[in-house]
Amino acid sequence: MKAFARLLERLAFTPGRNAKLTILSQYFQTTPDPDRGYALAVLTGGLDLRQVSPSMLKRLAADRVDEQLFRLSYDFVGDLAETISLIWPGEASGANADVSVADTVTLLRETGKMALPGVIADLLDRLTPPERLALLKLATGNLRVGVSARLARTALAMGTVRSVDEVEEIWHGLIPPYLPLFGWLDGGPPPAPVQAPFRPVMLSTPVTPEELAPLEPADYLAEWKWDGIRVQAVAEGGERRLYSRTGEEIGAAFPEIVAAMEFEGAVDGELLIRRGAEVAPFGDLQKRLGRKAVSAKMRETHPAALRLYDILTWEGEDLRALPLQLRRERLEAATFDADRIDLSPILSFTTWEELAALRAAPHTEVIEGVMIKRRDSPYIAGRPRGPWFKWKRDPKVVDAVLLYAQAGHGKRSGFYSDFTFGLWDGAELVPVGKAYFGFTDEELRELDRFVRKHTVQRFGPVRQLAPELVVEVAFEGLNASPRHKSGLAMRFPRISRIRWDKPAIEADRLETLRAML
């Protein structure tokens, strides 16, 4: 556990991508099996454990630590795992040499629910504070060390004869601790292939009008950016699988799409809720996401549809090396014979000004913007800069009042960085959302000072604030939500500006936000 604890600590306090890659690569090269495989699984979200709940951890702490001391410490630190790792009484017993990542994973997987608190407490007694933190982050699955699955796999390929694209290509279907994968990286045979595998997706990068200006419009295709979720539909060798953009299989939640996949190939598109020709807001799709099964009633009221914009393989032929123009022609020539599957239309434009006009006034509000793709681009895994761009519509904004604040995690654990904000509804401020980013480091320090000086009440780690500070909140979309007091839910809210100049009474009203729906 010592090496894993050191890994997480170094990653949490290392901001640079290349530095993180070096740290990860060294860990994978020097750590024995199976610990390195389980660490890789944790970092890539591939470890299925009996996760420890925050309530269980709080009960454990209450049995060992004075309640008032724990409350004050948690309020100051802001992170539950970090608080417990620091405040847990006693020194390590000296038996911690035998606590490996693999042993910990086995205990978390095989221990029953009733016995699990005692096992966690025993492990905490045997470990040092940094190791306790690593244990609790492993157990809760809440790492927050700034490492994406792609970055971890990139580091994995460093120093080997394999490229990250080769690793991505065989990744789906591998099981922790990935012994065949590490053997292959060391020059051995590749892991056994799986049927209907997930292919790593090609991603776009944001673009501005200034960046588009020197480019030749004729070299690009454009289509709408739909407000759904990116999926890959694969029907090969008698198997049918519907994957999210990260490779998670989600077909159980959308059986009508799987049933409609009467083809042999792999296609790339957007999963939507579509009633007739009308695409529904993202909130309708959200009601079906994450389900292990879906009722006939839900399929009737929220019918799923697949809107395609690329083709990866077809009838045994890998098409990813072809230029987009040819892949589009192959996609249009393919036969799907399904009402729930159609193609995303290509937009007609000859200048960037014409495309800007289309982007500014789409025919439906569920369109987020436009996608711009080079006609000659092959389908490349990852996020290469240049071939594909996303030009989203300008965000919506409201001026809101800060109501509550909570300390952040990791590098932000000493600052109040998680904010709840509200709008006026009559004479009352109603919470309408939360934001965790959008501000600079200097603005974060200013916000933290404001929180500490303007706290009026405390609820554990949460501080209620005097309703005095206005912030401009930018967001990408808005959905009706009966779960929220305001009846609305923002998509991707962030604090875009701090309005030190604006009195709280002049913040926006709830009806202003409702009008944007």
Catalytic residues: 225
Letter string b/e over residues 287-309, b meaning 16 or more CB atoms within 10 A of that residue's CB: ebeeeeebeeeeeeebbbbbbbb
**456: exposed, middle or buried (C-beta count within 10 Å: 0-12, 13-18, 19+)?**
exposed
Query: What number of CA atoms fall less than 13 Å from residue 420's CA on the CB side?
Result: 15
Q: CB atoms < 10 A from the CB of 164, how many?
A: 21
Cβ proximity of 160 and 30 under 8 Å: no
Measuring CA to CA, which residue among 147, 142, 120, 140 is closest to residue 15? 147
Give DSSP secondary structure letters for 37-68: HHHHHHHHT-----PPPHHHHHHHHHHHS-HH
Q: How many CB atoms lie within 10 A of CB 224?
A: 24
φ, ψ (nearest 5 deg) of residue 89:
-75, 155
User: What are the residues whose beta carbons fall under 8 Å from the beta carbon of 403, sequence distance 6 or more?
Assistant: 420, 421, 422, 429, 431, 464, 465, 467
* Rounded Cα–Cα distance for residues 287 and 283 (Å): 7
Q: Is 308 helix (H, G, I), strand (E, B) or coil?
A: strand
Cβ atoms of residues 431 and 420 within 8 Å: yes
